[in-house]
Structure 1
Amino acid sequence: MTPEQWLSNFEAKIAEVQQKAAEFKENLESSGATESSADGSLRVTVAPNGALTDLTIADSALRGSGGELAAQIMRLARKAQRAAAVHVAEAFAPLAGEDSESLRMVTGYLPPEEDEDPPAAERRPGYAFTDEPEDAEPPARPPAEPSGRPGRPRSTARDDDDDEFGGDQIFGRRDEW
């Protein structure tokens, strides 16, 4: 291969990588996701990194309890975050290669698919609103257990700080001062 051919091949590879990088950037910027409730009363939008960027709550969504509303919002947010992560992986695939280790690493972190309406017992923990009055007593705490670490033993000898160092005085005996 001549130097001119090598340079031509190298320039073609650079142009291909630049084109793929530009496509990746364009696809990445549009990789956010929006999810809506079945009745359209809730809409959640997330950025490509999964950050919440918009939340729309129609008045009709307020008909249930605060806990139900919070659960619906969280479910839609998780669903949108997963969709955004899938979009990012799809944008990354042409740049990394369809069967590359880096693509497998990215897709290995995709959040699990969200059920449409999981039973209350299977819902993940999160923030919840309750109808309990503000003056309700908090649940009783169990008594604290001892730490198991013993305290520092107290010296029963003379009250002299130098005893811990063998009783030797650097500047002579104390009674000589």
Structure 2
Amino acid sequence: MTPEEWLAGFEAQIADVKQKAAEFKANLEASGATETSPDGTLTVTVAPNGALTGLTIDDSAWRGSGEQLAGKIMQLARKAQRTAAVHVAEAFAPLAGEDSESLRMVTGYLPPEEDEPEPDDGSRGYAFTNNEPDAETRPRSGEPPARPRRPVSSPDDDEDFGNDQIFGRRDDW
């Protein structure tokens, strides 16, 4: 092989890698995912890294408890995160090669598919509680909420801190 042939082959490899890198970048940027609940009341969107970027909750989704709603949102988020991870792996495959160790490493971390919702044993996820004030402390309509009362101070409050100035006496200046 002549030096010119070797250089032409090398330049062709560089052009191929550049083209694959540009395709990877474009595919990676489009690798986010959006999942919608079967009834259409919830939509979750995640970025290629799995970060939550959008959440739409239809008014009719508020039926049931907050805990149920949170569970549905988390289930959709996990499904969207898995879909995004699959998209990222698909974008990476042409760059790495279909049977490469690096692709196997990336696909080895894909979250498992969720066929059925996990049983709620309270060990993960979010929990919502009713933090509504009771009727006795809730302000009546039209009334501003009551100001919290300031604690009453006593002369003994300052006994731990003498009356000394931290920079000495004022007449020393």
TM-score range, shorter chain: 0.7 to 0.9
| Counterpart Cα distance in 1 of 2:133 and 2:115 | 33
Q: How many residues align?
A: 134
- Supply the RMSD in Å over aligned alpha carbons: 1.8
Q: CA deviation at 1:125?
A: 1.1
Kindly provide the amino acid, as one letter, of the partner of residue 61 in structure 2: A
1:162-177 aligned within 5 A:
none
**Cα gap change, 1:124/1:46 in structure 2, threshold over 3 Å: closer, same or farther?**
farther
Tell me which residue corresponds to 2:127: 128
Gaps of 5+ in 2: 135-173
For residues 15-66 of structure 1, what are the alpha-carbon distances to aligned partners after superposition, in whole Å with 9 as ceiling and x for unaligned?
Answer: 0000000000010000000001001000000000000000000000001100
| Counterpart Cα distance in 2 of 1:12 and 1:87 | 28
| Counterpart Cα distance in 1 of 2:104 and 2:75 | 26
Kindly provide the amino acid, as one letter, of the partner of residue 130 in structure 1: T
Computing the radius of gyration from Cα coordinates, the structure with the larger value is 1
Kindly provide the amino acid, as one letter, of the partner of residue 59 in structure 1: D
Kindly provide the amino acid, as one letter, of the partner of residue 49 in structure 1: N
| Counterpart Cα distance in 1 of 2:19 and 2:40 | 39
Tell me which residue corresponds to 1:44: 44
Indicate whether 1:34 and 2:34 are aligned: yes
1:91-102 aligned within 5 A:
91-102=91-102
| Counterpart Cα distance in 1 of 2:51 and 2:33 | 10
For residues 123-146 of structure 1, what are the alpha-carbon distances to aligned partners after superposition, in whole Å with 9 as ceiling and x for unaligned?
Answer: 8611111348889xxxxxxxxxxx
TM-score (norm 1): 0.71
TM-score (norm 2): 0.72
Gaps of 5+ in 1: 136-177
Kindly provide the amino acid, as one letter, of the partner of residue 37 in structure 1: S
Q: CA deviation at 1:115?
A: 2.5
